Structure formats: structure tokens, C-alpha cells
């Protein structure tokens, strides 16, 4: 089956769409918004579903020395097109019954066996519906502050400094009260290319982040109770290691085609 591929690039700080030409590691073009899933457990505060917007991180005060860009495929040839070094990967994927079943089994298995997680990981829970895109970006940026540059009055930098010692639940509550990030999120949602959806619209796509913290490949998902460690990694191998985990997500739901991968790389 042939799949069409189009790229969409823009200014620095862009969250752009990724497409896979080919068969085994391909996805179709995602139509409409790339939005976070409104979990049934999040019955209270909700934000508008966030579309990929070039200016979101810039509006939060992140300088464009690093930027998000397309990952066109998960094989070595296409991964080589991604600028290096890459310090974070965001995966957008469909939340299906298969995935939810796996998520529950994974949580129970880790609680029973335990795992070693670096104390330096910045991790927060998601308590705001439709906020997974923003939380994915926060996870990507927060765990790479040694690489990234901020404006002096950056709202995101201030949020990270004030929340650095908080628990994952406290960080979530702190985000609920942060008007600067909320307003920027809402503004970005309205500035997207497609029609702004209802705040209560059901969305079945979800953003998560992968980062390298202390040589550990960490999956950060605010819907989970803790980070998931996927083994060792390094600055040189991070992108390839994260791609292998993304392949597992795709293989779990082989009939699903709505997957997108973007990487935060040196400009």
C-alpha cells in the first residue's frame, strides 16, 4: 500500500508533522489537529486541544538555538536526516484499547519488580485535560536545560525553577495555577491552521516525551504514575534508541496509522 508523504516546516521552535514514506515503518498523513487525549479521569480542568504551532515555545521564552523538526522515518537512513545532536523526541500516538491494556500491565509489573530511575529526571503528572502536548514539551525542555537557552523573562524558565523540587503531583497542581503557560497554550490552540475545536471535544491522540537523563532512556507520560526506563542510552545513540521504542508502540497497534514523531535538535 502506497502512502503519501508531505513535510511541513516553519520557523524555529516548530512542532511539525512527521511522515513515513515506505511500508514497514510508515504512517499516513495526519489530517487535522495533533491533539492530546482528554482522559476520562480528568473530569475537571481542561484546556483547548493544542495543534502543532511554530511559536509556542518561542512565546514561552525558549531561544531558537534548538528546534523541533520532522522525523521522516524510523530506519537508519531516514534517521540520519535528523540534525544532530538530538536531545528529546516527542511521540504522538493513538490511545487504543490495546494500549490501555498494556499500560495497566506495565504499571503493575513495574510496581511489583521496581525500577531504578535517575533522581535528576524532571517528571510531572497530567491533571489537565488536553494538556499532554504542553506537558510533553515541558518534559522535553526541563530535562535538557543544560543544552537550551532561555530569554531572561521566560515564563517557562521561571516555571521550571520554581517547580524543580516539587513532586510530580505538586508540579501538576502548580501548572494548573500557572496563567502564563495556560494563556500561551490557549493562544496557540486558537492560532492553529484548522478550526479551533470545542474544549470538551474527545481526542484519542496522546503526546509523550523521550529524553536521555544520566544515560537512561526515559519515557515521560503524565498519564502514568512514574517515568518508564527503557534501558541505557547516550548522546550519540539517543535518537536511534528512542526510535526503537517508537517502533514498539507502532507494532503494538499495527492497524493504526496515526503516529507522529518529532525531535528536538541543535539548530
71 vs 265: CA distance, rounded Å: 11
Nearest by Cα to 135 from 144, 126, 147, 148: 126
**Active-site pick, 132, 139, 185, 218:** 132
Parallel, antiparallel or unpaired: strands 228-232 and 216-220? antiparallel
Q: Give one word for 32, left, alpha or beta, with left for phi > 0 and alpha for psi -120 to 50.
A: left
Instruction: Decide if 218 is catalytic.
Output: no
pTM (2 d.p.): 0.82
Evaluate if residue 14 carries a pLDDT over 50. no
Of 70-74, 117-121, 146-150, 201-205, the least confident:
201-205
**Tens digits of residue pLDDT in 30-44:** 323 344 444 434 545
Instruction: Decide if 258 is catalytic.
Output: no
The runs of H, that is alpha helices, within 155-256 are 155-163, 168-176, 179-190, 238-252
Query: pLDDT band for position 148 (50/70/90)?
Result: very high
**Active-site pick, 19, 139, 185, 206:** 206
Of 31-35, 113-117, 154-158, 214-218, the least confident:
31-35
Residue 182, pLDDT score: 79
Assign 94 to helix, strand or coil.
Answer: strand
Amino acid at each position: 500500500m502506497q502512502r503519501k508523504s508531505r513535510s511541513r516546516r516553519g520557523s524555529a521552535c516548530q512542532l511539525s508533522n512527521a511522515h513515513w514514506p515506505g511500508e514497514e515503518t510508515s504512517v499516513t498523513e495526519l489530517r487535522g489537529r495533533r491533539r492530546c487525549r482528554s482522559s476520562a479521569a480528568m473530569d475537571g480542568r481542561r484546556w483547548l486541544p493544542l495543534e502543532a504551532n511554530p511559536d509556542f515555545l518561542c512565546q514561552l521564552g525558549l531561544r531558537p538555538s534548538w528546534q523541533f523538526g520532522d522525523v521522516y522515518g524510523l530506519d537508519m537512513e531516514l534517521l540520519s536526516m535528523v540534525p544532530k545532536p538530538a536531545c528529546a523526541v516527542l511521540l504522538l500516538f493513538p490511545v487504543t484499547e490495546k494500549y490501555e491494556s498494556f499500560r495497566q500491565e506495565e504499571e503493575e509489573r513495574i510496581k511489583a519488580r521496581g525500577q531504578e530511575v535517575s533522581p535528576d529526571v524532571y517528571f510531572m503528572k497530567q491533571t489537565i485535560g488536553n494538556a499532554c502536548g504542553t506537558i510533553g514539551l515541558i518534559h522535553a525542555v526541563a530535562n535538557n536545560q543544560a543544552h537550551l537557552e532561555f530569554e531572561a523573562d521566560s515564563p517557562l524558565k521561571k516555571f521550571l525553577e520554581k517547580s524543580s523540587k516539587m513532586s510530580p503531583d505538586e508540579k501538576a497542581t502548580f501548572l494548573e495555577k500557572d496563567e502564563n503557560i495556560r494563556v500561551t497554550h490557549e493562544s496557540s490552540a486558537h492560532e492553529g491552521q484548522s478550526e479551533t475545536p470545542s474544549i470538551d471535544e474527545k481526542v484519542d491522540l496522546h503526546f509523550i516525551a523521550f529524553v536521555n537523563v544520566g544515560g537512561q532512556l526515559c519515557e515521560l507520560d503524565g498519564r502514568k504514575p512514574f517515568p518508564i526506563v527503557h534501558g541505557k542510552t547516550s548522546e550519540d545513540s539517543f535518537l536511534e534508541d528512542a526510535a526503537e521504542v517508537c517502533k514498539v508502540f507502532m507494532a503494538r497497534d499495527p492497524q493504526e496509522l496515526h503516529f507522529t514523531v518529532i525531535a528536538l535538535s541543535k539548530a
